């Protein structure tokens, strides 16, 4: 049983393990994570481009790894179609679709129609953060496809992080990858991916809050474009 936990992940200990993992490659980080946490590790997957890389690598390390998808009931049809393609290609993976407790109709009755337009943080809290909190109960660690180049809020993420919001450890194997490397991997191994990526959607979230990106714009500028001060759904923000 691993002696790693939220409580034992001191700053000094995290510094040591991140230095050690930094001497290897992405697959080494993934192997360490599953050897250390085994079934106490969950991959929270958005099924974006980075997810295709991680899923493919994870399947080589732990064929029956646990993967959760937070279904807000507001995703693009292309996202749902991709999930079925992944199920077919990696049949042993345990992919769980996590639903919010609150339906869209209940949310509208309590907060008004299209909450994502008026209070996007509250909408994300109800439809993503709270389901994630429920999904991670009992899990020591979770994995994410964050990359440092994606945004300023992600620039300092490490391979192993203490997650204050969910009181767990967050493993991020792709922190040093560039977008070009992600797509090179996808093409070399002929991996399925969300068709919206071919329509200038580099980052894909819920349909009402995601638009195509114009040439020269930041890769995440299409997320919550109507709200200049919102850059994250809340899963990766400090408590």
User: Which positions are annotated as active-site residues?
Assistant: 233
Cβ burial 174-191 (10 Å sphere, 16+ → b, else e): bbebeeeebbebbeeeeb
Paired tokens of 95 = 């992919």
Task: Give the 3-state secondary structure of residue 18.
Answer: helix
Q: Pick the closest to residue 191 from 45, 86, 77 (CA basis).
A: 86
Q: What are phi and psi of 106, to 5 degrees?
A: -65, -40
Residues making up the chain, counted from first to last: 239
Residue 121: count of CB within 10 angstroms of its CB:
18
Q: What are phi and psi of 113, to 5 degrees?
A: -65, 150
């Amino acid at each position: 049983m691993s002696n790693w936990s939220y409580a034992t992940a001191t700053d000094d200990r995290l510094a040591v393990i991140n230095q050690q993992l930094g001497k290897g490659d992405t697959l080494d980080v993934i192997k360490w994570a599953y050897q250390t946490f085994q079934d106490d590790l969950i991959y929270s997957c958005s099924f974006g481009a980075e997810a295709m890389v991680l899923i493919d690598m994870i399947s080589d390390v732990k064929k029956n790894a646990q993967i959760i998808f937070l279904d807000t009931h507001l995703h693009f049809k292309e996202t749902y179609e991709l999930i079925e393609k992944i199920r077919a290609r990696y049949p042993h993976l345990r992919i769980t679709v996590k639903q919010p407790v609150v339906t869209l109709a209940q949310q509208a009755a309590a907060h008004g129609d299209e909450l994502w337009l008026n209070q996007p943080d509250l909408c994300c809290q109800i439809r993503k953060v709270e389901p994630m909190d429920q999904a991670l109960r009992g899990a020591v660690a979770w994995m994410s496809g964050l990359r440092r180049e994606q945004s300023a809020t992600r620039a300092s993420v490490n391979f192993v992080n203490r997650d204050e919001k969910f009181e767990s450890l967050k493993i991020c194997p792709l922190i040093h990858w560039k977008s070009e490397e992600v797509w090179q991997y996808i093409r070399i191994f002929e991996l399925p991916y969300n068709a919206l990526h071919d329509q200038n959607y580099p980052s894909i979230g819920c349909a009402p809050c995601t638009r195509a990106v114009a040439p020269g714009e930041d890769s995440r500028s299409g997320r919550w474009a109507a709200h200049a001060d919102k850059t994250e759904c809340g899963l990766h923000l400090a408590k």
